Chains A and B, each alone.
Chain A
Amino acid sequence: MNLEPLYNLKERLDHIVIAGTNLIDDDFKLKKAIEDMSSLAAVNPVFGKIQSAANAIFTTEKEKRNKQILTVLGTVYAVIKTQGTIGTKELDGYEEVVTSERPHVNIPKSILSVMCDVTTENYAPLRTFLIANPMALLSTNMFKKTLEFYRHSMVYHGSNGGFLDILVNAIQNDKTGKYIDIVKESTNIYSVELLDALGDHAGAKWYAENITKFKPNDATYLYFQKKDVPAWLYVKFITAKKSKDIKDNIRIAKALISKHPGCPEIQEVLNFFESQNWETDTIITFMNSESKK
């Protein structure tokens, strides 16, 4: 039986629910879809009842109209589901699957899921869930578990398993500010994208101020170079290392700068420091005055 009129009716009723039933009187497509049910009604009285009930939508008092729409739609959904096709009529081209006995043991989920995720980069379920439910990341437990997978995937696969995109997207679309707080609680800020997601230079500034918590990697330096981060912020970043002695930090910074020379503007500042023999006072004066601008 060709159920296309029923599917059309469902589609039109769905549309009305989405667009608003206030517009129903002018919905000629809906009226046509109801009319087209006559071909099915001729075959089976159930479809006749659906058609009558659908027509009654337009004659029912306005206050009861929505209830009538839902009654019809509920019936349409029920019939469609019971008419769901099962299987395929065409088995040409199918071959029999042959399997054979071999040693086997059922492994409990607690062990299997961790094993699979780490060794196969099978983060798809968690990733898909998190994309669909970014609010779940607000639970610190979930976030910590996410970062654990992230770390594992970095170690075993050199990739981020797509979680970075999830975190970045969540931060950029978060209006509560809670994601940013959770990111800042974490000690796993590896990426340019995450820092970028924290907002115009806010990520860089926060990173520079909290540098002792982290082990910056190339990605972080890249952020400071590729974005138009002010030179003073970059200098603060490379000089704010774990050692309290700024001279030690400058020594480390000089080594790093050779590897990450920075954008022209930053390079100009570093050249200036070089000309001043990397005097501590010079550097501090520069950062203080620049940061106030």
Chain B
Amino acid sequence: MDLTEATIMRIAANASAVSNGKKLSQKGSFKNLCKDAESTVYWAECAGSSGFYNTSVDFGDGSQDPVCRCSCPSRQFPCKHGIGLMYEIISGKAFSDSAIPEDLAAKKAKKEAAEAKKEAKIQEAIDNAGAPKAKSKSSAAASKKKMAQQLEGLDVAEKIVDELLSSGVATLSGQSAKKFVDVANDLGTYYIPGLQAAFMQIANYIDRMKHSDEETINLLYQQTIEKILCINTIIQKGRDYLQSNIEMDNISEDNGYLFEALGGIWKFDSLIGINSFEKDVQLIQLGMYTEWDNVKQESRDISYYIELKTGELYCSVNIRPYSSNLPQEDSNFEKTSASVMVKYPGIGCRRIRWEQPRTSPVTADDCARILSVADPDIPTAAKKVKNVIKNTMANNEYPVLFTIEKVLANENHMVIVDKAGNNIILRGSVYMKPSEQIKDLPVEIKPGDAIFGEMFYKDGSIYLLPFSYINEEKIIRIA
């Protein structure tokens, strides 16, 4: 692997770690710089608060991110010493060839064995994909019992919706709101956490109305109604799904989204098991943002990717509970290749995960590929969006990539125009003012270039929130 500063910044936990690591390198904190003959493992001693730490960077076969190991007490991974050592490498310092220390070699071997085991498990899942594993009698019985309880839960959920509609959402306050929350909490005992979270979201909307102005209250009512519609759809479709599964126990990719909507959590090899995967993919990130879910008490880093072979748009979701110290996902400006990528069943932009990633720089050929798979005009892109957002279980936005002709602006709005003369208004969020970003684009806007963004529905119209601008040489990230 060609180690670059971009890679270091990507794998570091945060900007402070990068800064601290760089400082260690710059002030000469490292001594006894060594590497193996193949230049796959580097190690050194680094001055620390209580003596010297043994730090190493292992590039393995160069196909994945390097592994840093250090004897310091930091729980951050990689620690600043590991980052500092990587800066020693890229700054061209001289490392002596030496035999890998025994303890380091042992750790390396253990890791390689664990990876081989993981790879074998994934390969086994791929070999058996589509052929459901026969469950033991007790496991099948437990599964059916759980589904029966879920069905009961759906009946309870339907009753909650019924009572809510009869009395009216506006009556939810004080004691009735508390009772609503208690009843919603009880849904957890029926193994339907997805629906439980949906009801708690309604409670959250109602609670927020207490501190909101009229415009926000109207928006919150709107969101509440859409959430109720979503819950109703999950109940109706979930009932059919569970009833058929109780007999057949056959989750397929077609209905697998209900598994997650009810609160199930997909495992990597389970997704391979239902044939929901691709092999040998190449992904380029085109945009990202973070959202906060106060009900589930978690943050989610959402990144949009294009898969170069198929031209499909996907998203990855990095979930970080508020109570955890999990690092926020950072921008990725490189191309990611993975031997296996799983796709979560779903309506809308499919979520993906992958294992064993390798990174390489984005090339002009990659940009040209992106331009070639972009939708040719706005109506083509919009049709895909409308097909998704009409579903009560889908969000109101969907990612699009389409070719542009030019950009126009007046003092109030900015529009993107396609070759056929169709246009779409750019609209930002509290996070972005796209007009300002586009006006400052550091490349010439040319016909045939492409825009990637989210088309979203609001107040009777469909707008575009742009995330990146792609020309034949590069991808300019706006968000």
Contact = CB atoms under 8 A, between A and B. Distances in A.
B207 to A, nearest CB: 8
B386 A19 contact: no
B142 interface: no
Given A20-B166, A20-B171, A99-B443, 8 more contacts: A21-B165, A70-B228, A73-B229, A84-B386, A94-B415, A109-B288, A136-B292, A173-B210
Contacts of A95: 408-410
Contacts of B461: 84-86
Contacts of A78: 390-392
A18 B168 contact: yes
B476 interface: yes
Interface stretch (A127-135, A191-199, A210-218): A127-135
A276 interface: no
B232 to A, nearest CB: 5
B201 to A, nearest CB: 12
Interface in A90-139: 91, 93-104, 106-111, 114, 124-125, 128-129, 131-136, 139
A203 B475 CA distance: 53
A124 B225 contact: no
Given A81-B390, A84-B386, A133 B294 contact: yes
A99 B442 contact: yes
B322 A97 contact: no
Given A18-B221, A22-B167, A94-B408, A88 B425 contact: yes
Nearest to B12: A110
A96 B406 contact: yes
27 contacts: A14-B225, A17-B165, A17-B225, A18-B168, A18-B169, A19-B168, A20-B165, A20-B171, A21-B166, A22-B166, A69-B165, A73-B229, A77-B226, A81-B390, A82-B390, A84-B462, A86-B379, A86-B422, A86-B423, A86-B462, A99-B438, A99-B440, A108-B330, A109-B328, A133-B208, A136-B292, A169-B211
Contact of B410 (A66, A93, A131, A139): A93
Given A85-B460, A111-B15, A169-B211, A66 B442 contact: no
Contacts of A133: 204, 208, 292, 294
A106 B409 contact: no
B14 A110 contact: yes
A79 B457 CA distance: 12
Contacts, number: 184
Given A70-B229, A87-B422, A100 B10 contact: no
A101 B294 contact: no
B221 A14 contact: yes
B265 interface: no
Nearest to B408: A94
Interface string A47-76: 000000000000000000011011001100
A20 B170 CA distance: 8
A155 interface: no
Contact of A98 (B170, B431, B445): B445
Given A101-B443, A101-B444, A106-B476, A74 B233 contact: yes
B424 interface: yes
Q: Which A-B residue pairs are the 3 nearest by beta carbons?
A: A20-B168, A104-B442, A78-B390
B225 A125 contact: no
A91 B457 contact: no
Contact of A86 (B14, B228, B382): B382
B407 interface: yes
Interface in A136-187: 136, 139, 141-142, 169, 173
A134 B322 contact: no
B27 interface: no
Given A77-B392, A91-B423, A139-B297, A109 B170 contact: no
Contacts of A256: none
A55 B409 CA distance: 46
B441 interface: yes
Contacts of B170: 18-20
Contacts of B441: 99
Nearest to B473: A101
B407 A17 contact: no
Contact of A131 (B204, B211, B221): B211
Nearest to B205: A132
